[in-house]
Structure 1
Amino acid sequence: MLCTWMFLLIVLPALFNFSFSRADTDENTATYASRQRETEWETWDLPQKQVLDSFYTLYPIYRNSHAYDTSAPSTRRMMAYYELVSQRMQRFAAQTAASRAQDIQLIRQSYRYNPAIYTQSLLNSVAHTDIADYAYFQQQTALFRKHWKSFLYSYHFNDKKFGADDYRSLPVYHPSYDPDSRQQQIKGICYLLLLATGYY
């Protein structure tokens, strides 16, 4: 019995930690930073009209009589430039996100046979710091960022002045947590109790 618990609580978590450790984390970070610089330079070298066309393809509502104003006072080209860089980097980051999602799925599938990792995950879930809450947080902040940009773009690209009264209509971010976390916590606690009492 002691050997079984040692395997479940020490050996198995160590094996999982070893298999999911990313030895190339620093390399991936450096690669991402290098790719971002290259993307910024490549996008900067594009013709201004092409950059603006790319932006208006995403946001056709802002294509008006001043759509291609690239004079010194106009910041349309810069706004379009940063939007295009962001879109290109999102496509690049999606590859890493897909790989990370696969790792997370494998970890979740191991909960039944890995009580140490499951317990740690439940504690993180109670504190709202586990991978599910983080993924939900990323999703919610991405939606808010999109809402925030849409709000500001409506002023900027329509040459609308931002007045004192407009502060009342600024988008507000309301933090929230994964709505399924409570159900997962109850399920996990019941499983661990059954495991501790020898009924599982």
Structure 2
Amino acid sequence: MSWLAHEWRLLARSRLALAALALLLVLSTLAVLSGTREVARQRQTIARLAGLQQQDLTAQARKYTHGGDPGSAAYYTFHSTWDAPSPAAFLALGLRDAAPYVLRLRALALQAQLHEGESFNPELALAGRFDFAFVLVYLAPLFLIALLYDLVSGERRSGRLGTLLAMPGAGRRLWLRRAGLRAALVFGGLVLPVLVGALANGTTMAALATALLVTAAYLAVWSGLALIVATRSASSAANATALMGCWAVLTLVVPTLANAVLARAVPVHQGVELMLAQRQTVHGAWDLPPPATMEKFFRTHPEWQHTAPLPSGFHWKWYYAFQQLGDESVAPQVAAYRDGLLARQRWTARLGWLLPGVGVQAVLHRQADTDLQAQLAYQDHIADFHARLRAFYYPYLFNDARFGSQDFAAQPRFISPARSMETPVGQLLGLVLMGALALLMGAAAAGRVRPTSG
């Protein structure tokens, strides 16, 4: 391993290289700390919400010690739902930075409550929060470029290239050793904080292994690309310009253009439009004859059609009937909305097979369970809980039953969804193949280095 010590001594003479590696270590550490603090803050928020929820339920329960109105209980009782972050969420926060991870719910129309905090499609191709995924995708290539752009041109400019190539062991192996050492140091600067963060957050070995493999594959892509450019017979300035152009195109320009094309090709209305459409139906029901509303409700819920008829004036079962009809009126739009979001997600995943930065974010967000799939799963759990709330209250409402403290205590409780924590094997394989192909092309280019520029 004498060559390793020799190459390290050469690299250590460059204060700029050492400063770059130190800066990368600092940035990666700050990113892991930022992600860890955000995950801790979200967990504290969920824990604090649980305490406040219990206080609220205790205060509401006092109203029904001697019995009361089930409609009032359903209207005034809020139920907390939450989506706790996974142990790997500190690596890539994804949609948790934009979509709600806690939601207070009542037995009223669901869609208006679900989309009060707007849910957007994850724009995996655009820059997001400062977390490890951001540092890896957008900043790590810049450090590799700074360390590799003058790998050959620097020796040529100093006049040492001819002598260097004439020495035993020179040629392709020399450039691969030097590039490999620099890439390994970049890899170390990136993953050392990740290892500490994974230990602190209780990250599973599978999630950690995925993060390390993604990091290695992505660095392999950029190392191979840097070798292809740096081994040309061009000046250091030309190499740096070419590599910076590649960085801008692959991480900023093409992903942004692809995202814009995808938004036009697969149009998706925002969730707020569903909320407004549902509220318009609910508000319009106040102007309709209550018997007409109940007749429409009984068509889809015949199990309640033989209960007592509506009395004159207001009745809670009429109120909750048109609340549910409001949700049912926008059911086709809700299905189209989700289908559109999932279609965009699938195309974004396919884009990751061509753009390594997009692929890295897609893999990390899936492994961390912070992507669109995770957000929709949380919404599904909310919808299931909301359905249980309705099923609990309807017998009291339609049978005009009294609602006591024991009934209040028997209300359904939300159970936090289990984490899927799946590894996106296909996308991960795509990144590995891109990295291997880039390294092979870089190695081939390194074998064509000549001492002169002609």
Counting only pairs closer than 5 Å after superposition, residues 3-152 of structure 1 correspond to structure 2 as 6=247, 7-21=249-263, 32=274, 35-36=277-278, 38-66=280-308, 68-72=309-313, 74-152=315-393
User: Helix, strand or coil: the match of 1:151?
Assistant: helix
- The one-letter amino acid paired with 1:88 is S
Aligned-residue identity in percent: 21
* Aligned counterpart, 2:435: 196
Q: 1:44 to 1:173 in 2, by over 3 A?
A: same
User: Helix, strand or coil: the match of 2:423?
Assistant: helix
How far the C-alpha of 1:187 sits from its partner, in A, is 4.9
Q: 1:33 to 1:120 in 2, by over 3 A?
A: same
- The one-letter amino acid paired with 2:416 is P
How far the C-alpha of 1:150 sits from its partner, in A, is 0.8
Which region of structure 1 is more displaced relative to structure 2, 135-144 or 86-95?
Answer: 86-95
| Structure 2 CA distance for aligned equivalents of residues 47 and 190 of structure 1 | 60
| Structure 2 CA distance for aligned equivalents of residues 50 and 113 of structure 1 | 56
- The one-letter amino acid paired with 2:422 is R
Counting only pairs closer than 5 Å after superposition, residues 161-176 of structure 1 correspond to structure 2 as 161-176=402-417
Q: Work out whether residues 70 and 76 of structure 1, in 8 Å CA contact, stay in contact via their aligned partners in 2.
A: no
How far the C-alpha of 1:131 sits from its partner, in A, is 0.9
The root-mean-square deviation of aligned C-alpha atoms, in Å, is: 3.2
| Structure 2 CA distance for aligned equivalents of residues 28 and 128 of structure 1 | 22
How far the C-alpha of 1:122 sits from its partner, in A, is 2.5
How far the C-alpha of 1:133 sits from its partner, in A, is 0.8
- Structure scoring higher RCO (CA < 8 A, sep ≥ 6) equals 2
- The one-letter amino acid paired with 1:79 is Y
Name which one, 1 or 2, has greater alpha-carbon Rg: 2
Q: Work out whether residues 133 and 177 of structure 1, in 8 Å CA contact, stay in contact via their aligned partners in 2.
A: no
Q: 1:34 to 1:75 in 2, by over 3 A?
A: closer
| Structure 2 CA distance for aligned equivalents of residues 28 and 190 of structure 1 | 33
User: Helix, strand or coil: the match of 1:103?
Assistant: helix
How far the C-alpha of 1:167 sits from its partner, in A, is 4.2
| Structure 2 CA distance for aligned equivalents of residues 97 and 190 of structure 1 | 27
After TM superposition, the score normalised by the length of structure 2 is 0.37
What is the aligned residue count? 194
Which structure 1 segments of 5+ residues have no match?
Answer: none
CA deviation string 1:2-24 (max 9, x = no partner) = 569534333331222322457xx
CA deviation string 1:35-80 (max 9, x = no partner) = 44542354333322110012122222222341x2132363222121
Which region of structure 1 is more displaced relative to structure 2, 89-98 or 45-54?
Answer: 89-98
Which region of structure 1 is more displaced relative to structure 2, 1-10 or 78-87?
Answer: 1-10
Q: 1:167 to 1:70 in 2, by over 3 A?
A: closer
- The one-letter amino acid paired with 1:147 is R
| Structure 1 CA distance for aligned equivalents of residues 377 and 368 of structure 2 | 14
User: Helix, strand or coil: the match of 2:353?
Assistant: helix
CA deviation string 1:161-184 (max 9, x = no partner) = 2332334532222222563x4232
User: Helix, strand or coil: the match of 1:76?
Assistant: helix
| Structure 2 CA distance for aligned equivalents of residues 123 and 154 of structure 1 | 46
| Structure 2 CA distance for aligned equivalents of residues 28 and 134 of structure 1 | 15
* Aligned counterpart, 1:182: 422
- The one-letter amino acid paired with 1:59 is H
| Structure 2 CA distance for aligned equivalents of residues 166 and 30 of structure 1 | 35
| Higher normalized helix content (fraction of residues) | 1
Which region of structure 1 is more displaced relative to structure 2, 107-116 or 93-102?
Answer: 93-102
Q: 1:97 to 1:81 in 2, by over 3 A?
A: same
CA deviation string 1:121-178 (max 9, x = no partner) = 2232243220111122222221221122111112221222233233453222222256
